[in-house]
Structure 1
Amino acid sequence: MASFATRHIARGTTIRASDCGSLADRGSSLKVEALLGATDQQLRTSGIDYTITAPSFFMQNFISFFTDDYKSGTIYQPVGEEKIGWVDVRDIAAVNAEVLLNPGRYKGRELTITGGESLSYTEAIAIMNERLGATTQFVSITDEAAVEAVSAAQFPEFIIDVMISLNHSIRQGHAEKTTNTVQEVTGRPPITFRQFVDDHRTTWL
Structure 2
Amino acid sequence: MTILVTGFTGKVGYEVAEKLKEEDLPFKCAVRNVEKAKEKYGESYEFVSLDFSKPVTFGAALNGIDKIFLMYPPGDHLQFERFIEKAKEEGVKHIVYLSLKDVQFMPFVHHYKNEKLIRNSLIPYTFLRAGYFMQNLNDFLHREIKERKRIFVPAGKGKTSFVDARDIAELAMIALKDTATHTNKKYIVTGDEALDFYEVSQILSDVLQVKVEYTNPSVKDFKEYMVSRGEQKEFVNVVVGIHFPTKLGLAKGIRSDFEQVAKRKPTKIRKYIEDYKESWI
TM-score by length of 2: 0.63
User: Residues 19-98 of structure 1 correspond to what in structure 2 (within 5 A)?
Assistant: 23-27=103-107, 34-71=109-146, 72-98=148-174
Compared CA separation, residues 131 and 182, structure 1 to 2 (3 A)? same
User: Residues 114-129 of structure 1 correspond to what in structure 2 (within 5 A)?
Assistant: 114-129=190-205
Question: Contact 1:88–1:191 (CA<8 Å) still a contact in 2?
Answer: yes
Bigger helix share = 2
Larger RCO of the pair (alpha carbons < 8 Å, separation 6+): 1
Number of residue-to-residue matches in the alignment: 193
Compared CA separation, residues 117 and 27, structure 1 to 2 (3 A)? same
Q: State the distance in 2 between where 1:108 and 1:149 align.
A: 44
Among 100, 106, 109, the residue aligned to 1:14: 100
Structure 1 unaligned regions, length at least 5: 17-22, 29-33
Please say if 1:100 is aligned against 2:176: yes
Question: Contact 2:159–2:246 (CA<8 Å) still a contact in 1?
Answer: yes
Among 169, 186, 202, the residue aligned to 2:262: 186
Q: Percent identity?
A: 22
How far did residue 24 of structure 1 move?
4.6
How far did residue 117 of structure 1 move?
0.5
Determine the structure 1 residue equivalent to 2:251.
175
Letter in 2 for 1:59: M
Q: State the distance in 2 between where 1:55 and 1:198 align.
A: 22
Among 225, 232, 242, the residue aligned to 1:149: 225
SS at match of 1:122: helix
How far did residue 91 of structure 1 move?
0.6
Q: State the distance in 2 between where 1:5 and 1:127 align.
A: 47
SS at match of 2:182: coil
Deviations 1:86-130 (A, max 9, x none): 111111110111011111111111111111111111101111111
Question: Contact 1:69–1:75 (CA<8 Å) still a contact in 2?
Answer: yes
Q: State the distance in 1 between where 2:225 and 2:201 align.
A: 21
Structure 2 unaligned regions, length at least 5: 1-63, 65-88
Determine the structure 2 residue equivalent to 1:135.
211
Q: State the distance in 2 between where 1:171 and 1:61 align.
A: 16
Q: State the distance in 2 between where 1:98 and 1:118 align.
A: 25
Deviations 1:63-88 (A, max 9, x none): 22333322312221111110011111
